[in-house]
């Protein structure tokens, strides 16, 4: 029996994904391998929300970016894993074009995570990978829709460039 078109089922499912996300982020495992599993589960749920209810996904993205900005190491690592998994799953051009509303808050939170001393060089490497993936989701608009690019990158991109210049000069 296919319940995907049942409105009550669909609403309950979306609510469950949000609740699971909150629980995973709040209780992220200290075990590295467990965070990998949690990250994959979380990214699959986020992708399903992305394809079915972008408004609910915004709630999840808000939670993830909050954790990226000021969470503990295990939470930041889980958030990075979830974002990586989500964005890597987006391979359809039509779907990728709908991701741009999430980019500004994600890259801003990634900047906070990148400057967090606690995450170390391996964590920074993961942050840069997600940053790259975010840029990839809006690269289609380069030269076509410069307003969209500016709205996605804005001032945060300039801060990223300043960090890159600083790293290159040292």
Residue 20, domain CATH = 1.25.40
- pLDDT score at 147: 92
Domain count, the chain: 1
Residue 2 maps to a domain: no
Tell me whether residue 32 is in a domain: yes
Structural domain containing residue 103: 7-169
Query: What are the pLDDT digits (tens) for 89-117?
Result: 887 777 788 889 999 999 999 999 999 88
Of 115, 122, 50, nearest to 81 by C-alpha is 122
In a domain, 1, yes or no: no
Rounded mean pLDDT, 15-29: 58
Cα–Cα nearest to 100, from 42, 155, 142:
142
Does residue 115 form part of some domain?
yes
Tens-digit pLDDT profile for residues 61-72: 888 898 888 878
Q: Are 58 and 33 in contact (CB under 8 A)?
A: no
Whole-angstrom Cα distance, residue 106 to residue 44?
Answer: 18
User: Is 26 within a domain?
Assistant: yes
Q: Does residue 72 lie in a domain region?
A: yes
């Amino acid at each position: 029996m296919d319940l995907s078109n049942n409105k009550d089922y669909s609403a309950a499912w979306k609510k469950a994904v949000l609740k699971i996300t909150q629980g995973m982020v709040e209780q992220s495992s200290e075990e590295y391998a467990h965070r990998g599993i949690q990250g994959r589960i979380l990214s699959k749920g986020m992708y399903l929300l992305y394809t079915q209810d972008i408004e609910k996904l915004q709630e999840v993205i808000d939670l993830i970016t909050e954790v990226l900005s000021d969470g503990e190491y295990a939470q930041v690592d889980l958030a990075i894993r979830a974002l990586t998994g989500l964005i890597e799953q987006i391979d359809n051009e039509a779907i990728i074009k709908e991701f741009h509303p999430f980019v500004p808050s994600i890259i801003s939170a990634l900047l906070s995570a990148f400057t967090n001393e606690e995450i170390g060089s391996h964590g920074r490497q993961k942050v840069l990978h997600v940053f790259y993936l975010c840029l990839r989701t809006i690269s289609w608009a380069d030269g076509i829709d410069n307003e969209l690019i500016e709205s996605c990158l804005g001032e945060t991109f300039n801060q990223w460039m300043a960090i890159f210049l600083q790293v290159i000069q040292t």
